[in-house]
Chains A and B, each alone.
Chain A
Amino acid sequence: MVIYCIYIVSKSGGLIFNYDHNVPKVENERKFTYPLDIRLNYENKKVSVHFGQRDGINVGHVLTAVNGMPVTGRQLDDGRDAKDVLESKESYPLTLKFSRPKMTTNEKIFLASMFYPLFAIASQLSPEPKCSGIEVLKGDTFKLHCFQTLTGVKIMTVVDRNQIGAEVFLKRVYELYADYALKNPFYSLEMPIRCELFDTNLKAMLEQIDKSGIASI
């Protein structure tokens, strides 16, 4: 069973819980000589690959290290600007490390609220009456399952594209939510879920699934 992430979105569209289970890390390091054979873009406080995919370094990947030194945004850890280093001929050869950008919590909140109108429009544009919103969304690398409870809370999970049985898993997460988040007197509705029991039980369930498959829960 490959579960990548779990998200819970409140009925007003805010992200109240997210958990990354086992997101694969996409990282590549390579030695470069002057001039660079890939085109980089300096945008959005990041250095990202704009054109020229090769050796696993794909368009959209961001620069994370130069000669082993981590890069934060556009700045190297010793204070130099990454752009200046990459454009000066003297600093070559350089070992550059690129990785697929990791989502920040802010971006996750943004994505959760973006899913909300998509869900609503999907039911509005339906060719058949009395249609629900998006239940399964498939990309070529993953499948997203969404389960909406009667009270409007959406529980979503990103799983492997060939994974089956995610509906059962979502129902189980809903049970955990009802048992450990809603019954917790210190939890107020619509607020982020910070309940220890919920976390530990969810982790225990995920471990169980990793060991013996989705049928065991």
Chain B
Amino acid sequence: MTVHNIYIFDRMGTLLYYQDWNRLKNSGMTKEEEAKLMYGMLFSLKSFVNKISPTDPKEGFLYYKTSKYTLHFLETPSGLKFVLNTDNHSQGVRDFLQQIYKEIFVEYVVKNPLCNLNEPIQSELFKTKLDAYVKQSSVFLTKSM
């Protein structure tokens, strides 16, 4: 089990934060372009899921799976979007994303008056805390283990 990378977007589509851990392939474009592509895809996915759903959706899109990785998606009511790419065997990633929001994002970004909420996160504290939190989680175990 392993975590590949994380994206955090605000409700306007600005990439607030990106970090990767075990990324073996780059998409061949700059980070800004990739973030735009990712946000565009999520936006379309959300509308696609709402339309194709047979009954009324509440949370809408949860995850998608390909042959090599799974993309987990969490959107807060305020429009913040958390995207985590893991391998296909990870369990309970949605709860984990919720924990990241609650224990890392709210604690070290929202409660930090120097962090502007519409701009990419510069805080070193957030960075180290998130890194440590992901690395000690059950979802994160490198493939060699």
CB-contacts of B14-31 with A (<8 A): 20, 22-25, 27
Known: A128-B25, A134-B66. A140 touches B4 (CB 8 A): no
CB A128 to nearest CB in B, in angstroms, measures 4
Q: In the complex, which of the residues B23, B56, B58, B60 contacts A100, with contact meaning CB atoms closer than 8 Å? A: B56
With a CB–CB cut-off of 8 A, which chain B residues contact A23? 54
**Given A124-B27, A128-B25: A134 touches B54 (CB 8 Å cut-off):** no
Contact (Cβ within 8 A) B66 A141: no
Point out the residue from B41, B52, B55, B66 that lies within 8 Å of A144, measured CB to CB. B52
Which single member of B51, B57, B63, B66 contacts A131 (CB below 8 Å)?
A: B66
Interface residue A31 (Cβ < 8 Å from any Cβ of B):
no
Q: Give complex CA distance A122, B134 in Å.
A: 23
Main secondary structure of the interface of B (DSSP, over half): mixed
CB of B62 within 8 A of chain A? Answer: yes
Asked if B54 and A158 make an inter-chain contact with CB atoms under 8 angstroms apart, the answer reads: yes
Contact of B59 among A134, A140, A142 (CB under 8 A): A140
Please measure, in the bound complex, the distance between the C-alpha atom of A122 and the C-alpha atom of B58, giving whole angstroms.
24
- Tell me if A132 and B68 are in contact (CB < 8 A): yes
Known: A115-B48, A127-B20, A137-B49. A122 touches B66 (CB 8 A): yes
Residues on B with C-beta less than 8 A from A45 are: none
Report yes or no: B66 in contact with A132, Cβ–Cβ below 8 A: yes
Known A-B contacts A139-B49, A139-B62; A125 and B56 likewise in contact (beta carbons under 8 Å): no
A20 and chain B: residue at smallest CB distance: B54
Contact with A along B91-124 (1 / 0, CB 8 A): 0000000000000000000000000000000000
Could you give 13 example pairs across A and B, Cβ below 8 Å? A24-B55, A26-B56, A111-B48, A114-B48, A126-B66, A127-B23, A129-B24, A137-B61, A138-B65, A140-B62, A142-B54, A144-B52, A158-B54
List chain B positions with a Cβ less than 8 A from chain A.
4-5, 20, 22-25, 27, 34, 37-38, 40-41, 44-45, 48-69, 71, 85
Given A23-B54, A131-B66, A137-B63, 13 further pairs, Cβ under 8 A: A5-B52, A103-B51, A114-B44, A125-B38, A127-B20, A127-B24, A129-B68, A132-B67, A135-B67, A136-B65, A138-B63, A139-B49, A141-B57
Top 7 A-B residue pairs of the complex, sorted by shortest distance between their CB atoms: A127-B4, A132-B67, A131-B68, A128-B68, A136-B65, A129-B25, A140-B59
Measuring CB to CB, which residues of chain A are less than 8 angstroms from any residue of chain B?
A: 4-5, 23-24, 26, 58, 60, 100, 103, 107, 111, 114-115, 117-118, 121-142, 144, 158
